[in-house]
Amino acid sequence: MKRSHVTILTILLFILSATGVRGQEEIAVTRDRLSERVAVFTTAAGGEATNIIALRTERGMVVVDTERSPSFTAAIRKAIEEEFSDDFHFLINTHGHGDHTYGNQVFQEATILAHENTVSEMEEAVGRVEGTVGQISAMIPRWRSQLESLEEGSEQAAGLAGTILYYEQMVTGLADGFTAAYPTMTFADRMSLDLGDLTLELVWYGRAHSSSDILIYCPEEQLLLTGDLFYTGGMPSYIDSERIPYLPRWHEIIGSFLGREEGITHIVGGHGEYLPLANLEDTLAFITGQQELYDGRQSALTTFRKIHESEGVEAGLTRLRAMFADPDHFYTLRPELDTYAYRLMLDEKLDEALKIFLAFAELWPESDISWDSLGEVYLRLEQKEKAIEAFEKSLNLNPENNNAIQRLAQLKG
């Protein structure tokens, strides 16, 4: 289900030209009409553009998601107005991440609707705006300087100029009058919107890509909107102890949509190409396999964390080794355990982190990440020789481990 009949709408914005000099340029917005009542809009400013969906209904326009900057979202709003109408009734956020909510203020006259967890997720995302603007603003002069050293008209220069254009516009929207516009209507589990000629069924998916992910189904249009839950050709990569309990819910929800009598013609995700129906069927099969894999077993991380916090790291590691040796009753996911220990290291609890990473190297000696993490904590403890030894073991297991390559170059001078 790739995009077809794409037309281009050009919106006049101030952006950097390929020479690095500020000037007036045109930024394109693509629009793909799925039907007389539905279209998908994306900016062509660069980056990983968000798919913004607009539905014309008897009760007014419904927009699903906004861009990562009000400047991009304003361009999309203008495109929607020219394509359909300026009577905006609902704005729905599929989840609370900034690349789907930072442009909400552009539709403030609409009722903003989302899952109840979206508010707290947005608050966290909004708290990062100032830092993001500062980091990008510091990088732009460096990129401009680099651009001046490149051959004018070269492919490399054009690519860097495109990057500058994109981030310049993003920062402009976030720094100049940015206002967080939070949902004014929320739901916990399921919700149905009667829009006259169209119905939208909203379902909370459970904890997955975020804690607020929802799917939106329009039976009259055979349209399923999935936010960032799925992507073409890939399976969910966010399986961990916090999400495994939701596997039955994921299975039930996907199965219910696939079994709808009305059917599904278009599946539009949060970014990129539309999903083929077979991709959703494959995802259901993957989740079925994951259920069978984890059914009846407990999380080693959950138990380890409780013992660590109440009895100390040594008691926690003793229990972890026992759980690792009992795979029939416990699942032990190294990546999430590594993340747990890494946070201890970043919080300067270096002695505890070292003991945990040493245990990981013992339990997963063939994992390059185990040795890489051990090298990191030795580096912070200023134990240079042990850090070198750990990074070298990591690099032997994975010659493409860039972190180990860079750390060894640093340590060996």
Quote the pLDDT of residue 93.
98
Task: Report in angstroms the alpha-carbon separations of 51 from 14, 22, 154, 227.
Answer: 23, 28, 30, 9
Looking at CATH, the fold of the domain delimited by 6-126+181-291 is given as Metallo-beta-lactamase; Chain A (3.60.15)
How far apart, in whole angstroms, are the C-alpha atoms of residue 40 and residue 64?
10
Question: pTM for the complete prediction?
Answer: 0.86
Start-to-end Cα distance in the chain: 52
- Tens-digit pLDDT profile for residues 353-406: 999 999 999 999 999 999 999 999 999 999 999 999 999 999 999 999 999 999
Question: Which CATH architecture describes the domain 298-411?
Answer: Alpha Horseshoe (1.25)
DSSP characters over 111-133? EEEEETTHHHHHHHHHTTHHHHH
Mean per-residue pLDDT, 256-280: 95
On the question of pLDDT at 27 being above 70, the answer is no
Going by pLDDT thresholds of 50, 70 and 90, the confidence category of residue 47 is low
- Tens-digit pLDDT profile for residues 171-217: 988 988 899 999 999 999 999 999 999 999 999 999 999 999 999 99
Among 101, 41, 24, which residue's Cα sits nearest to residue 65?
Answer: 101
How far apart, in whole angstroms, are the C-alpha atoms of residue 233 and residue 223?
19
Quote the pLDDT of residue 131.
93
Going by pLDDT thresholds of 50, 70 and 90, the confidence category of residue 233 is confident
Going by pLDDT thresholds of 50, 70 and 90, the confidence category of residue 48 is confident
How far apart, in whole angstroms, are the C-alpha atoms of residue 105 and residue 181?
5
Q: Which runs of consecutive H residues, i.e. helices, occur in 295-383?
A: 300-311, 313-324, 334-346, 350-363, 368-380
Quote the pLDDT of residue 1.
40
3-state secondary structure of 66: coil
Quote the pLDDT of residue 184.
96
The pair phi, psi for residue 269, each rounded to 5°, is -90, -175
Task: Report in angstroms the alpha-carbon separations of 100 from 94, 153, 165, 355.
Answer: 7, 34, 20, 40
Task: Report in angstroms the alpha-carbon separations of 182 from 57, 96, 105.
Answer: 23, 9, 9
**C-alpha 262, offset from chain centre:** 30
What is the token pair recorded at 269? 């995700």
Q: State the average pLDDT for the chain.
A: 91
Q: Which of 100-104, 162-166, 245-249, 393-397 shows the lowest per-residue confidence on average (mean pLDDT)? A: 162-166
Quote the pLDDT of residue 46.
63
How far apart, in whole angstroms, are the C-alpha atoms of residue 95 and residue 209?
9
Going by pLDDT thresholds of 50, 70 and 90, the confidence category of residue 24 is very low
* Summary count for the chain: helices (H), strands (E): 14, 15
Quote the pLDDT of residue 18.
31
Q: What is the share, in percent, of the chain residues with pLDDT greater than 70? A: 93
Q: What is the share, in percent, of the chain residues with pLDDT greater than 90? A: 85
DSSP character for 378? H
Helix (H) / strand (E) element for 265: namely none
- Which part of the chain is CATH 1.25.40.10? 298-411
On the question of pLDDT at 5 being above 90, the answer is no
Among 321, 291, 286, which residue's Cα sits nearest to residue 303?
Answer: 321
Among 284, 351, 362, which residue's Cα sits nearest to residue 318?
Answer: 362
Quote the pLDDT of residue 234.
85
- Which part of the chain is CATH 3.60.15.10? 6-126+181-291
Mean per-residue pLDDT, 41-58: 89
